[in-house]
């Protein structure tokens, strides 16, 4: 994200719909900051392999560029 735009980090507290993750039910997490809405959808298959999809919705009047980055710890 741009330097002046807040992006989620390790200390971000995400909001969820309260649903438990299962192969039949993915979980959607959301966090909003300064006109941006970040959504993470976490799904799991029957072999417990995870898929994490991140989308960003921009409601600002500014064109922003984002780059993918991931860290598994």
Tens of pLDDT, residues 26-70: 999 999 998 999 999 999 999 999 999 999 999 999 888 888 777
Q: Report the 10 Å Cβ neighbour count for 13.
A: 7
Reported confidence tier of residue 18, pLDDT bands at 50, 70, 90: confident
In whole angstroms, how far apart are CA 65 and each of 18, 29, 32, 41?
A: 31, 22, 17, 21
CA dist 58 and 73 (Å) reads 29
Whether the pTM exceeds 0.85: the reply is no
Residues β-bridged to residue 38 = 31, 56
């Amino acid at each position: 994200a741009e330097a002046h735009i807040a992006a989620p980090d390790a200390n971000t507290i995400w909001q969820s719909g309260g649903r438990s993750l299962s192969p039949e039910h993915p979980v959607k997490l959301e966090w909003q900051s300064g006109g941006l809405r970040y959504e993470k959808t976490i799904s799991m298959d029957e072999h417990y392999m995870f898929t994490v999809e991140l989308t960003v919705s921009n409601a600002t009047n500014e064109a922003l560029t984002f780059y993918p980055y991931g860290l598994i710890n």
